[in-house]
Amino acid sequence: MKYYKLAMPSGYDFYTGKTINYRDNIGKTVRPPNANRSGGLCSSSFIHAADAPNKCFIGAHIPCSAYIVHGDPVICDDEKCGFVELEVLSEVSDLDVLFGWNYSEACNPIHALHLPAKRTMTVERMALLGEWASVRASVGASVRASVGASVWDTVGDTVWDTVWDTVGASVWATVWATVGASVRASVRASVWDTVRASVWDTVGDTVGASVWDTVGDTVWDTVGAYIGSLFPNTAEWLHVGHESGVYPFQPVVDLWKQGIVPSFDGKSWRLHSGRQAKIIWQGTLHRR
C-alpha cells in the first residue's frame, strides 16, 4: 500500500526542518533517529505518513513538497500512521492534481489591490456587486461547511492562513484606512482620535459595530469567498441557493480578479481599487 508524505519545499521534514530530506532520498529508505516501536504515535519515535494526501496536513502546511512512500505502519489513528522506516518512491510534481484543489494559487494568491487600478464603475461591476450583496451573508458558513465535507478539516486552516497572511490582512488594512477616511466625519472626534492612534485590536473595540465590525466583516467575507473558489471540486455549496456546478460567490471573485474589493459600512457600499484602495464608486443598492 502506498502512502503520502509532505515535507518542506526544500525536501526536509516539517518536524525538525533538518533531519530527513525526502527529495535526496528518493529510491532509498529513511528512518527516524529515535525509532521505537513502543513509542507514542505523536512522537519522534515514528515518521508520519497518511493514506490520502489531504490527511497529511497534520503537522504540515503550504507551501510544501509531496512524496509517495511505502512502508509497514506500526500504529495509526484516523489521520496518520507511524512508521519506523519508509521507502521514498517518488516526488509528486503536480500538487493541484494531487490535492484536488488549487494549491498553486493558494501558495501565490491574487492580491486584488496590487492589480492595475480600475477607475470607473460599469454596468457589469454593478451587477456583480448586486449579486454579491445578495449572497454575502452566507459565505462564512457555506465555505467551511461545504469544503469541510471533503478536505476543509485538514487543509482549510493552512489555506486560510496562507491566503490571509499573504493578501487578506493587507487588503483589510488598506480598505479600512480608506473607508475610515471616508466616514470619519460621521464619527465623533474623540473616537476618531483614538482610532488613528490605536492598533487593530483596539480599533475594533473603539469603533464597534457601527463602522469597524461591518467594514471588516465585508472584507473578511470577500477573502473567504476568494478562498472558497480555490476548491473547485466542491460539488454542493451549503446554506445558499445556487445552480448545480456554479460557485455561488463567484461574483465577488470576479471583482477581486479585476482588482476591485467591495466594502459596506452598514449604509453605503464602496468599490475600492489600487494600492491605496481608492474608492471608485460609492452608493446604495436598491433591491428589486
pLDDT in tens, 132-147: 999 999 998 898 888 8
Work out whether the CA dihedral 30, 32, 33, 38 comes out positive or negative: negative
Q: Are residues 61 and 174 in the same domain?
A: no
Q: Are residues 208 and 236 in the same domain?
A: yes
Question: How high is the pLDDT of residue 212?
Answer: 56
Stated as kind and residue range, the H or E segment containing 49 is: strand 47-49
Radius of gyration of the chain (CA): 23
Pairing relationship of beta strands 278-283 and 75-76 according to DSSP bridges: unpaired
Domain that holds residue 121: 103-283
Q: Total domain count for the chain?
A: 2
Average pLDDT across each block of 10 residues of the chain; the chain has 288 residues. List them in order: 96 93 98 88 89 90 96 92 96 95 93 94 96 92 79 81 85 75 49 43 41 76 91 87 90 96 89 92 80
Q: Are residues 82 and 177 in the same domain?
A: no
14 located within any domain: yes
Q: Are residues 108 and 247 in the same domain?
A: yes
Could you give phi then psi for residue 256, rounded to 5 degrees?
-55, -45
Q: Are residues 129 and 141 in the same domain?
A: yes
Q: Are residues 121 and 187 in the same domain?
A: yes
Q: Are residues 131 and 230 in the same domain?
A: yes
Q: Are residues 165 and 90 in the same domain?
A: no
Q: Are residues 195 and 259 in the same domain?
A: yes
Q: Which of 60, 75, 99 is the last residue of a domain?
A: 99
288 located within any domain: no
Q: Are residues 90 and 109 in the same domain?
A: no
Question: How high is the pLDDT of residue 196?
Answer: 45
Contact 92, 67 (CB under 8 A): yes
Question: How high is the pLDDT of residue 180?
Answer: 60
Q: Which of 47, 69, 99 is the last residue of a domain?
A: 99
Could you give phi then psi for residue 251, rounded to 5 degrees?
-55, -45
Q: Are residues 148 and 7 in the same domain?
A: no
Q: Are residues 125 and 212 in the same domain?
A: yes
Contact 162, 107 (CB under 8 A): yes
273 located within any domain: yes
Q: Is 214 helix (H, G, I), strand (E, B) or coil?
A: helix
Question: How high is the pLDDT of residue 182?
Answer: 55
Question: How high is the pLDDT of residue 67?
Answer: 98
pTM of the model: 0.84
Q: Which of 59, 76, 99 is the last residue of a domain?
A: 99
72 located within any domain: yes
Question: How high is the pLDDT of residue 151?
Answer: 73
Question: How high is the pLDDT of residue 181?
Answer: 61
